[in-house]
Amino acid sequence: MRYCFQLQVRPDRIDEYVERHRTVWPEMLHALAESGWRNYSLFLRADGLLIGYVEADDLATAQAAMDRTEVNARWQAEMGELFVDLDVPPDQGFLLLEEVFHLEDQLDVVPTGQTNASEGS
């Protein structure tokens, strides 16, 4: 399944956030992969709005697997201070966004060659 989430990085800590993600600890990268996080990307707007995208069989299961790792506890503790108004670790405090469109899902159900119904009128 595909998941998208939102967080807010402190504007005065954006450069530090970006720098930390240029060289994520190898053990953190391996833990994410081994916990079922796939095709994981983070996108950051200039004002600190952070959008994350990840694929997982089940996000809650992938999060629980990460919670059981020591490296995740260390990473979340260090990263937590970079976010606005979080009283929980960042990986527990993000806002999940609802997917409302996915091109491939819709193409899978549209017969080949079908056009907009109004075009044929």
Cβ atoms 55, 104 nearer than 8 A = no
Q: Is residue 90 part of a domain?
A: yes
Give the pLDDT mean for 27-51.
98
Give the pLDDT mean for 59-72.
97
Per the structure, the complete domain to which residue 54 belongs is given by 2-98
Q: Which residues of 44-54 are buried (b: 16+ CB within 10 A; e: fewer)?
A: beeebebebeb
Instruction: Kindly report, residue by residue over 68-112, the tens digit of the pLDDT.
Output: 999 999 999 999 999 998 889 899 999 999 999 999 999 999 888
Rounded to 5°, the CA angle 72-19-14 comes to 95
Instruction: Kindly report, residue by residue over 11-22, the tens digit of the pLDDT.
Output: 999 999 999 999
Measure CA of the first residue to CA of the last residue in the chain; give whole Å: 38
- DSSP line for 88-118: S-HHHHPEEE-----HHHHHHHSPTT---GG
CATH number at residue 50: 3.30.70.100
Q: Is residue 11 part of a domain?
A: yes
Q: Give how many domains the chain has, as a whole number.
A: 1
**Catalytic-residue membership of 21:** yes
Residue 33's pLDDT band, with cuts at 50, 70 and 90, is very high
At 118 the pLDDT is: 61
Rounded to an integer, what distance in angstroms lies between the CA atom of residue 53 and that of residue 3?
6
Q: Is residue 86 part of a domain?
A: yes
Cβ atoms 43, 93 nearer than 8 A = no
Q: Is residue 17 part of a domain?
A: yes
Exactly one of 6, 11, 21, 105 is catalytic; which is it?
21
Q: Is residue 12 part of a domain?
A: yes
Q: Is residue 30 part of a domain?
A: yes
At 113 the pLDDT is: 77
Q: Is the pTM of this model over 0.85?
A: yes
